[in-house]
Protein backbone atom coordinates (compact mmCIF):
# COMPACT_ATOMS: atom_id res chain seq x y z
CA UNK A 1 0.00 0.00 0.00
CA UNK A 2 1.21 3.54 -0.75
CA UNK A 3 2.78 6.31 1.27
CA UNK A 4 2.11 9.85 0.06
CA UNK A 5 3.32 13.30 1.08
CA UNK A 6 0.27 14.77 2.82
CA UNK A 7 0.22 17.96 4.90
CA UNK A 8 4.02 18.09 5.37
CA UNK A 9 4.53 14.46 6.36
CA UNK A 10 4.75 11.03 4.74
CA UNK A 11 1.37 9.38 5.30
CA UNK A 12 0.73 5.66 4.98
CA UNK A 13 -2.78 4.60 4.01
CA UNK A 14 -4.78 1.62 2.79
CA UNK A 15 -7.98 1.30 0.76
CA UNK A 16 -10.17 -1.79 1.04
CA UNK A 17 -13.58 -2.82 -0.25
CA UNK A 18 -15.93 -1.37 -2.81
CA UNK A 19 -18.81 1.05 -2.87
CA UNK A 20 -19.23 4.60 -1.62
CA UNK A 21 -16.24 5.97 0.33
CA UNK A 22 -15.97 5.68 4.11
CA UNK A 23 -13.06 7.02 6.17
CA UNK A 24 -12.30 4.74 9.15
CA UNK A 25 -10.40 6.30 12.06
CA UNK A 26 -9.54 4.85 15.45
CA UNK A 27 -7.81 6.39 18.46
CA UNK A 28 -4.17 5.80 19.37
CA UNK A 29 -3.80 3.06 16.79
CA UNK A 30 -4.67 2.09 13.23
CA UNK A 31 -6.93 -0.17 11.18
CA UNK A 32 -3.99 -0.77 8.79
CA UNK A 33 -1.34 -3.52 8.75
CA UNK A 34 -3.63 -6.52 9.16
CA UNK A 35 -6.09 -4.86 11.55
CA UNK A 36 -8.92 -4.86 9.01
CA UNK A 37 -10.75 -7.50 11.08
CA UNK A 38 -11.36 -4.82 13.72
CA UNK A 39 -13.83 -3.08 11.40
CA UNK A 40 -17.52 -3.87 11.58
CA UNK A 41 -18.25 -7.08 9.69
CA UNK A 42 -19.65 -6.41 6.23
CA UNK A 43 -18.35 -2.85 6.03
CA UNK A 44 -15.90 -3.53 3.19
CA UNK A 45 -18.62 -5.40 1.27
CA UNK A 46 -20.65 -2.19 1.01
CA UNK A 47 -18.10 0.63 1.18
CA UNK A 48 -14.67 1.64 -0.04
CA UNK A 49 -12.94 1.90 3.33
CA UNK A 50 -10.01 4.31 3.64
CA UNK A 51 -7.71 4.03 6.66
CA UNK A 52 -4.31 5.43 7.60
CA UNK A 53 -1.56 5.58 10.20
CA UNK A 54 -1.57 8.70 12.38
CA UNK A 55 1.61 10.79 12.35
CA UNK A 56 4.50 8.96 13.96
CA UNK A 57 2.74 5.58 14.03
CA UNK A 58 3.14 2.60 11.72
CA UNK A 59 4.70 3.73 8.48
CA UNK A 60 3.69 7.40 8.72
CA UNK A 61 6.35 9.97 9.48
CA UNK A 62 5.96 13.24 11.37
CA UNK A 63 7.13 16.82 11.20
CA UNK A 64 8.02 17.62 14.80
CA UNK A 65 8.20 21.33 14.06
CA UNK A 66 4.40 21.38 13.88
CA UNK A 67 2.53 21.75 17.17
CA UNK A 68 0.20 18.76 17.63
CA UNK A 69 -3.49 19.63 17.64
CA UNK A 70 -6.70 17.89 16.65
CA UNK A 71 -7.01 20.29 13.76
CA UNK A 72 -3.57 19.22 12.48
CA UNK A 73 -4.60 15.55 12.51
CA UNK A 74 -7.92 16.47 10.87
CA UNK A 75 -6.06 18.33 8.13
CA UNK A 76 -4.03 15.16 7.57
CA UNK A 77 -7.22 13.12 7.08
CA UNK A 78 -8.80 15.77 4.85
CA UNK A 79 -5.60 16.02 2.82
CA UNK A 80 -5.68 12.29 2.20
CA UNK A 81 -9.27 12.44 0.91
CA UNK A 82 -8.33 15.39 -1.31
CA UNK A 83 -5.38 13.39 -2.64
CA UNK A 84 -7.68 10.46 -3.43
CA UNK A 85 -10.20 12.76 -5.10
CA UNK A 86 -12.93 11.76 -2.66
CA UNK A 87 -15.76 13.95 -1.36
CA UNK A 88 -19.15 13.27 0.25
CA UNK A 89 -17.52 10.63 2.45
CA UNK A 90 -18.94 8.82 5.46
CA UNK A 91 -16.65 9.70 8.40
CA UNK A 92 -16.39 7.08 11.15
CA UNK A 93 -14.38 7.83 14.29
CA UNK A 94 -14.20 5.18 17.01
CA UNK A 95 -12.46 4.78 20.37
CA UNK A 96 -11.41 8.32 21.09
CA UNK A 97 -9.26 10.50 18.92
CA UNK A 98 -10.66 9.36 15.57
CA UNK A 99 -14.06 10.70 16.63
CA UNK A 100 -12.58 14.07 17.56
CA UNK A 101 -10.86 14.28 14.18
CA UNK A 102 -14.25 13.62 12.59
CA UNK A 103 -15.76 16.56 14.45
CA UNK A 104 -13.06 18.91 13.18
CA UNK A 105 -13.54 17.66 9.63
CA UNK A 106 -17.32 18.06 9.78
CA UNK A 107 -16.88 21.65 10.98
CA UNK A 108 -14.00 22.80 8.75
CA UNK A 109 -14.49 20.63 5.64
CA UNK A 110 -18.23 19.97 5.30
CA UNK A 111 -17.71 19.35 1.59
CA UNK A 112 -15.97 16.11 2.50
CA UNK A 113 -18.47 14.79 5.04
CA UNK A 114 -21.57 12.85 4.02
CA UNK A 115 -22.24 11.60 7.55
CA UNK A 116 -20.38 11.31 10.84
CA UNK A 117 -20.26 8.54 13.42
CA UNK A 118 -18.70 9.21 16.85
CA UNK A 119 -18.07 6.71 19.62
CA UNK A 120 -15.78 7.07 22.64
CA UNK A 121 -15.65 10.80 22.02
CA UNK A 122 -15.69 14.19 23.72
CA UNK A 123 -16.19 17.84 22.82
CA UNK A 124 -13.62 18.91 25.40
CA UNK A 125 -11.67 17.39 28.29
CA UNK A 126 -13.19 18.02 31.69
CA UNK A 127 -10.79 17.69 34.63
CA UNK A 128 -11.45 13.98 35.05
CA UNK A 129 -10.76 13.04 31.43
CA UNK A 130 -7.83 15.46 31.22
CA UNK A 131 -6.16 13.82 34.22
CA UNK A 132 -6.90 10.32 32.94
CA UNK A 133 -5.16 11.03 29.62
CA UNK A 134 -2.24 12.71 31.37
CA UNK A 135 -1.95 9.69 33.67
CA UNK A 136 -1.74 7.35 30.68
CA UNK A 137 0.99 9.49 29.14
CA UNK A 138 2.87 9.65 32.45
CA UNK A 139 2.72 5.87 32.93
CA UNK A 140 4.04 5.30 29.40
CA UNK A 141 6.90 7.74 29.98
CA UNK A 142 7.82 6.70 33.53
CA UNK A 143 7.08 2.97 33.58
CA UNK A 144 7.21 1.98 29.91
CA UNK A 145 4.86 0.67 27.28
CA UNK A 146 4.01 -2.61 29.02
CA UNK A 147 2.69 -0.84 32.13
CA UNK A 148 0.82 1.62 29.93
CA UNK A 149 -0.79 -1.20 27.96
CA UNK A 150 -1.94 -2.99 31.10
CA UNK A 151 -3.46 0.20 32.48
CA UNK A 152 -5.26 1.25 29.31
CA UNK A 153 -6.55 -2.27 28.66
CA UNK A 154 -8.03 -2.57 32.15
CA UNK A 155 -9.74 0.79 31.61
CA UNK A 156 -11.07 -0.18 28.19
CA UNK A 157 -12.56 -3.67 28.52
CA UNK A 158 -15.18 -5.16 30.79
CA UNK A 159 -13.71 -7.17 33.71
CA UNK A 160 -15.37 -10.38 32.48
CA UNK A 161 -13.85 -10.00 29.01
CA UNK A 162 -10.44 -9.14 30.45
CA UNK A 163 -10.45 -12.16 32.77
CA UNK A 164 -11.31 -14.51 29.92
CA UNK A 165 -8.96 -13.04 27.30
CA UNK A 166 -6.08 -11.57 29.33
CA UNK A 167 -3.42 -13.63 27.54
CA UNK A 168 -4.25 -12.09 24.15
CA UNK A 169 -5.02 -8.60 25.43
CA UNK A 170 -1.57 -8.12 26.97
CA UNK A 171 1.71 -8.34 25.11
CA UNK A 172 3.32 -7.13 21.89
CA UNK A 173 0.41 -8.29 19.69
CA UNK A 174 -2.30 -6.91 21.96
CA UNK A 175 -4.24 -3.64 21.80
CA UNK A 176 -2.25 -0.41 21.47
CA UNK A 177 0.69 -2.35 20.05
CA UNK A 178 1.21 0.54 17.62
CA UNK A 179 2.55 2.65 20.48
CA UNK A 180 5.32 0.22 21.39
CA UNK A 181 8.60 2.12 21.11
CA UNK A 182 6.68 5.24 20.02
CA UNK A 183 6.40 7.30 23.20
CA UNK A 184 7.05 10.61 21.44
CA UNK A 185 4.29 9.95 18.89
CA UNK A 186 1.96 8.92 21.71
CA UNK A 187 2.76 12.07 23.67
CA UNK A 188 1.90 14.22 20.66
CA UNK A 189 -1.42 12.40 20.24
CA UNK A 190 -2.21 13.03 23.90
CA UNK A 191 -1.40 16.73 23.52
CA UNK A 192 -3.88 16.96 20.65
CA UNK A 193 -6.53 15.15 22.70
CA UNK A 194 -6.10 17.41 25.73
CA UNK A 195 -6.53 20.61 23.75
CA UNK A 196 -9.50 19.43 21.67
CA UNK A 197 -12.50 21.72 22.15
CA UNK A 198 -15.47 21.97 19.79
CA UNK A 199 -18.11 23.02 22.33
CA UNK A 200 -18.81 26.38 20.72
CA UNK A 201 -18.68 24.96 17.17
CA UNK A 202 -20.79 21.81 17.34
CA UNK A 203 -23.79 23.71 15.98
CA UNK A 204 -21.87 24.15 12.72
CA UNK A 205 -22.00 20.40 11.99
CA UNK A 206 -24.69 19.84 9.36
CA UNK A 207 -23.94 16.25 8.32
CA UNK A 208 -26.25 13.49 9.60
CA UNK A 209 -24.59 12.35 12.83
CA UNK A 210 -24.75 9.22 14.96
CA UNK A 211 -23.37 9.34 18.51
CA UNK A 212 -22.98 5.91 20.13
CA UNK A 213 -22.90 6.03 23.93
CA UNK A 214 -21.12 3.22 25.80
CA UNK A 215 -22.71 2.81 29.19
CA UNK A 216 -19.74 1.01 30.81
CA UNK A 217 -16.98 3.12 29.28
CA UNK A 218 -14.51 4.21 31.99
CA UNK A 219 -12.76 6.71 29.71
CA UNK A 220 -15.51 8.25 27.57
CA UNK A 221 -18.81 7.45 29.27
CA UNK A 222 -22.08 9.20 28.46
CA UNK A 223 -20.76 12.10 30.56
CA UNK A 224 -18.49 13.00 27.62
CA UNK A 225 -20.61 11.74 24.71
CA UNK A 226 -24.07 13.08 25.57
CA UNK A 227 -22.96 16.73 25.10
CA UNK A 228 -22.15 15.83 21.49
CA UNK A 229 -25.64 14.50 20.85
CA UNK A 230 -27.11 17.58 22.52
CA UNK A 231 -24.84 20.06 20.73
CA UNK A 232 -24.98 18.76 17.14
CA UNK A 233 -28.21 19.73 15.33
CA UNK A 234 -30.32 16.67 14.57
CA UNK A 235 -27.77 14.22 15.96
CA UNK A 236 -29.06 10.75 16.77
CA UNK A 237 -27.88 9.01 19.92
CA UNK A 238 -27.88 5.28 20.61
CA UNK A 239 -27.08 3.89 24.07
CA UNK A 240 -25.24 0.57 24.38
CA UNK A 241 -25.59 0.06 28.13
CA UNK A 242 -23.31 -2.95 28.50
CA UNK A 243 -20.41 -1.75 26.32
CA UNK A 244 -17.05 -0.48 27.61
CA UNK A 245 -14.56 1.74 25.77
CA UNK A 246 -13.90 -1.05 23.26
CA UNK A 247 -16.71 -3.08 21.70
CA UNK A 248 -15.75 -6.69 22.49
CA UNK A 249 -17.39 -10.07 22.20
CA UNK A 250 -19.59 -11.57 19.49
CA UNK A 251 -22.91 -10.24 20.78
CA UNK A 252 -21.67 -6.67 21.27
CA UNK A 253 -20.00 -6.62 17.87
CA UNK A 254 -23.15 -7.87 16.14
CA UNK A 255 -25.29 -5.20 17.79
CA UNK A 256 -22.72 -2.53 16.97
CA UNK A 257 -22.64 -3.64 13.32
CA UNK A 258 -26.43 -3.51 13.10
CA UNK A 259 -26.49 0.02 14.54
CA UNK A 260 -23.67 1.29 12.31
CA UNK A 261 -24.76 -0.30 9.05
CA UNK A 262 -28.38 0.64 9.68
CA UNK A 263 -27.44 4.31 10.13
CA UNK A 264 -25.23 4.38 7.04
CA UNK A 265 -27.95 2.70 4.96
CA UNK A 266 -30.48 5.34 6.08
CA UNK A 267 -28.13 8.17 5.11
CA UNK A 268 -27.50 6.56 1.74
CA UNK A 269 -31.21 6.06 1.14
CA UNK A 270 -31.93 9.73 1.95
CA UNK A 271 -29.18 10.82 -0.43
CA UNK A 272 -30.48 8.55 -3.20
CA UNK A 273 -34.00 9.86 -2.64
CA UNK A 274 -32.81 13.44 -2.87
CA UNK A 275 -30.95 12.78 -6.10
CA UNK A 276 -34.01 11.08 -7.60
CA UNK A 277 -36.22 14.03 -6.65
CA UNK A 278 -33.73 16.49 -8.14
CA UNK A 279 -33.69 14.62 -11.45
pTM of the entire structure?
A: 0.95
Strands 236-240 and 209-214: parallel
Measured distance CA(219)–CA(244) in Å, rounded: 9
Query: What residue numbers bound the domain in which 222 lies?
Result: 3-123+199-278
Chain segment 36-69, per-residue pLDDT in tens: 888 888 999 999 999 999 999 999 999 888 999 9
> 68-78 burial, b if ≥16 CB within 10 A, otherwise e?
bbbbbbbbbbb
| Domain-located, residue 155 | no
User: Helix 127-143 to helix 183-195 angle, to the nearest 10 degrees?
Assistant: 170
User: Helix 183-195 to helix 70-84 angle, to the nearest 10 degrees?
Assistant: 100
Total domain count, the chain: 1
Mean pLDDT of 214-228: 98
Q: What is the pLDDT at residue 1?
A: 63
Chain segment 73-127, per-residue pLDDT in tens: 999 999 999 999 999 999 999 889 999 999 999 999 999 999 999 999 999 999 9
Nearest Cα to Cα of residue 152 among 102, 192, 126, 189 = 189
| Domain-located, residue 173 | no
> 226-235 burial, b if ≥16 CB within 10 A, otherwise e?
ebbbebbeeb
| Domain-located, residue 268 | yes
CB 69 within 8 A of CB 195: yes
Nearest Cα to Cα of residue 271 among 116, 118, 115 = 115
Nearest Cα to Cα of residue 202 among 276, 102, 125 = 102
| Domain-located, residue 180 | no
| Domain-located, residue 274 | yes
Classify residue 46 as exposed, middle or buried by CB count within 10 Å of its CB (0-12, 13-18, 19+).
middle
CATH number at residue 40: 3.40.50.1820
| Domain-located, residue 169 | no
Measured in whole angstroms, the distance separating CA 193 from the mean position of its chain's CA atoms is: 12
Chain segment 17-26, per-residue pLDDT in tens: 999 999 999 9
| Domain-located, residue 160 | no
Is it the case that residue 276 has pLDDT exceeding 60?
A: no
Nearest Cα to Cα of residue 177 among 141, 145, 220, 147 = 145
- State the maximum Cα–Cα separation within the chain, in Å, rounded to a whole number: 62
| Domain-located, residue 174 | no
Amino acid sequence: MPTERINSHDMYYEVHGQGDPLLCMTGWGTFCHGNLHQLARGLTDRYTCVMFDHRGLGESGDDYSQTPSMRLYAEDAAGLLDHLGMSNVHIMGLVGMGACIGQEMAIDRPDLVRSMVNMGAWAHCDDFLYDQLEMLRHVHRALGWQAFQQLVVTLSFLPEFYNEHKSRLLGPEGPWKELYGRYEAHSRLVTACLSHDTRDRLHLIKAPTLIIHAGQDMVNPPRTTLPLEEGIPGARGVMMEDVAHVVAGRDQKKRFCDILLGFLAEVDAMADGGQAAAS
